[in-house]
Structure 1
């Protein structure tokens, strides 16, 4: 009976021991994002199979599979999260809020295989108000898009 009570108590306390960074990683949808990325990577590998010599193609596949293996990606992402985010509680609170959940759902929808195929030739044109265009212009000047593109 004592063991049962102890086990029940431990089961109830385990969520309190959960790491905030791990929770944030999951709540923000990053495991699903990684799975979507791996789907896109596999599709890209298939596209190159017929256009590259077999040895080059196999080297490309081996290198990309090693670099982008799910465990390696998760470990690198979580290490950077721990390194650069001292307190995950505010971010965790945001991603658990209705707006955060809505954003995560939109990101996950946008990176699904069917959505990527649908928008492969570019995103549909959208009309934006003058104030929104002004904000976009300010952001375009403020954000280092060229550096971010080079990084990607």
Structure 2
């Protein structure tokens, strides 16, 4: 990950908000659950190791370029499901996201509720817990 251009290296290929959808599909087709060109969201089949943390990755497109990259700790011990829900796992996963971001970017620019936010010229990065769904993640939102 680079703090100057906000590029992320996935399987040796760099992506950012300048990555076009067709280029993305061509480079990552074998790693994706679906390669439907009409989709606006692409999910990687397996976790990807980025800066010492295995992460699930979802990439969103708007106007054929990357608009949001979602990351989530893929540690199986923190996995929740409807039959075995644990607030402890939610908190531990959020904590792991916050620590990972601090290690890579330093102290956050802002805090709002449970979220920490980093503001950069080309994007903002948010570590969050969605209280309604219990979803925990990191969102890189390009401007």
Give the TM-score of the pair, scaled to structure 1: 0.21
Structure scoring higher RCO (CA < 8 A, sep ≥ 6) equals 1
- Higher share of residues assigned helix: 1
Rg: which structure is higher?
A: 1
- Higher share of residues assigned strand: 2
Give the TM-score of the pair, scaled to structure 2: 0.22
